[in-house]
Amino acid sequence: MLFRIKNLGNQWQILVVGRNLKMQRKKLTVYDYLRCKGQRQLSNLFVHTVEEAAAAEEAGIDFIVAAHDLPKFGIKASLNDVKKIREVAPNCFMQSAGPTPPASEYEAIKYAHDYLSFGVDCIYVGNYSLKWIKAMREENIPTIGHVGLVPGKATWIGGLRAIGKTADEAIGVLRHTLALQEAGVIGVELEVVPPKVAKIITEKVDIITMSMGSGSDCDAQFLFSNDVLGWTEGHTPRHARIYRNFKKEYERLQQERINAFKEFHNDTINKNFNDPKITVKIEEKEFDKFLELSEKI
C-alpha cells in the first residue's frame, strides 16, 4: 500500500492509494497555547456564524472567538449559535463569554463554567476586575484579557482610539498587561497599540499577546471574520485587513433572490406549473375512470 504525506502547516494529510484521508489535527490545549510563544505565530479569528466556523476549521485556524447577543457591536448570534460553532470547529481553540459582564466573583466563576461545559476553552475577561480573574485562575479557568483599546471601556479613554502613542500611555499598557499576567490570564488581546510598543510588551511577558492592529511582533494575529471577508457594516476599522469582498457578493445574491422571486411570481400568474418535470402523470384509463366517478359525486 502506498502512502504519501503532506505537511499543511498545523494539519497533516495522508493520501492512500487514491483515497484522500485527512488526519485530525491536534487541538491546542492551554499548555500547547502557551508553549507557542516564541515558537510560531497563532491565527485568531472572530467568527459570527456556523458557516464561518466550519471554514475556519477547514482552513486550519488555530483559535476562534464567538460571542452572542451583542447587537451594539454587530454580534447577532444566539447562545445556541455559539454551541453550534463549537460543534463544527472541534479542533480550534475557542474563546467565548456571556454578553453581560458578571456582577460578582461568584457569577464570574459560575458563568465561566457554563461555557466550559459545552467545550469553550477560555473565557474573555476584558471588563473583569483583577480580583475576579485571580479567583478564576484559582479555579483553573483559562482567561483572556484585553489591553490597549478596550471597546467596553471606551468611555474611560475618550472613545475608540489608539492607546500607547505617548510614553505614559505605553507604560500604562505594559503595566496593565503585567497585572493581568499576575492575576492569571493566559493571554491578552493587544488592540491598536503601536507595533514598537507591542513588541516590547510581548518580550516582557510570558503570556500570549494577540495583535489587533498592533503589528507582527505579537505572538498571534486577531481579526474579525466580517473584516476579513469584507462585509463589515458601517465603519471598517483601520487595523482591519480585507481579503475578500463579500459585501458585493451579498448584494449580487440579494438581487438574484429578487429576480428569482419575480420569476416565481410571474410563473404563478401565468399558470406555468404544469411542467412534467415537476408534476406526476395519471394514466388516461385511470383518468377516465376518475371522471366517471367524479360525475356521480
Strand order in 3-7's β-sheet?
3-7, 12-16, 19-22
Distance CA 44, CA 67 (A): 14
Distance CA 243, CA 14 (A): 29
Distance CA 22, CA 11 (A): 8
Distance CA 29, CA 32 (A): 5
Instruction: Tell me how far CA of residue 259 lies from CA of 130, 178, 268, 269, 274, in angstroms.
Output: 55, 57, 14, 15, 21
Amino acid at the residue 85: I
Helix residue ranges per DSSP H, 43-129: 50-59, 79-88, 105-116
Q: What angle do CA 171, 174, 176 make, to 5 degrees?
A: 110
- Cα 241 → chain centroid: 15
E strand or H helix that includes residue 138: helix 130-138
Cβ atoms of 127 and 177 closer than 8 Å: no
C-alpha cell read off for 231: 462585509
Cell 463589515: give the residue: 232
Amino acid at the residue 238: R
Nearest one of 50, 87, 75, 43 to 151, comparing CA atoms: 75
Q: Identify the active-site residue in 139, 182, 191, 286.
A: 191
* Catalytic residue list contains 105: no
Active centre residues (catalytic): 191
